[in-house]
A and B are shown apart, each in its own frame.
Chain A
Amino acid sequence: DSGVTQTPKHLITATGQRVTLRCSPRSGDLSVYWYQQSLDQGLQFLIQYYNGEERAKGNILERFSAQQFPDLHSELNLSSLELGDSALYFCASSVNPIGGGGLAGNTEAFFGQGTRLTVV
């Protein structure tokens, strides 16, 4: 158990709908990351937050948005869903922000079990 909790584990929804994925980071971790993994695809970085502020953005679609709340949990909102959005969505957390040359010894990322989104 990584200590990162993602809900829900599975989500089936129709095209055009909007969903919210939730992530609770490990206790004490200030950084949260969201990744998308489509079938037979690698992990694609979406967005990163550190202590409530957006720190880095990857190839995240405009239909997608995220935020990190004062209690450090994060939500990823996916709207106007398309069939191609079906994927595993992972959240990860770390104590220090990975990026910007952090050299602390604890810069590894801890991943949740993911939310499997199926758009039908």
Chain B
Amino acid sequence: SQKIEQNSEALNIQEGKTATLTCNYTNYSPAYLQWYRQDPGRGPVFLLLIRENEKEKRKERLKVTFDTTLKQSLFHITASQPADSATYLCALEVGSARQLTFGSGTQLTVLP
């Protein structure tokens, strides 16, 4: 069956370091992959979209890579700040109707 897995439930890092989050998927070849941020009790907020023909995409301190051979996307936050603390979700189209489906998320905590 098609699965989306995010590397760990929780990740703690020190302020100023680079946070790296992983999204793996199986049994699917998505045309693109998306990353969202979700704060407690709030709706997810879109961050970045990367297409299958793009290896890397950047937006300010964010960088996403997409390896269709490994079926993996890495999400990096450089020079992390406590305000970056949130749950980060990857999402891609899965299923016969290709609905947008989310991974379970990684809760990132940036320690001051």
Among residues 17 to 34 in chain B, which have CB atoms less than 8 Å away from a CB atom of chain A? 31-32, 34
Q: Is the CB of B103 within 8 A of A107?
A: no
Which bracket fits the contact residues of B? Answer: 20 to 34
Q: Which one, B38-46, B57-65, B66-74, B75-83, is touching chain A? A: B38-46
Q: Does B95 contact A (CB under 8 A)?
A: yes
Give the shortest distance, in Å, between B3 (CB) and chain A (any CB).
12
Q: Is the CB of B46 within 8 A of A108?
A: yes
Q: Is the CB of B45 within 8 A of A2?
A: yes
Distance in angstroms between the alpha carbons of A41 and B103 in the assembled complex? 10
From the candidates B31, B45, B49, B100, name the one contacting A45 in the complex (CB within 8 A). Answer: B100
Distance in angstroms between the alpha carbons of A118 and B103 in the assembled complex? 24
B contact residues vs A (CB 8 Å cutoff): 31-32, 34, 41-46, 49, 51, 89, 91, 93, 95, 97-105
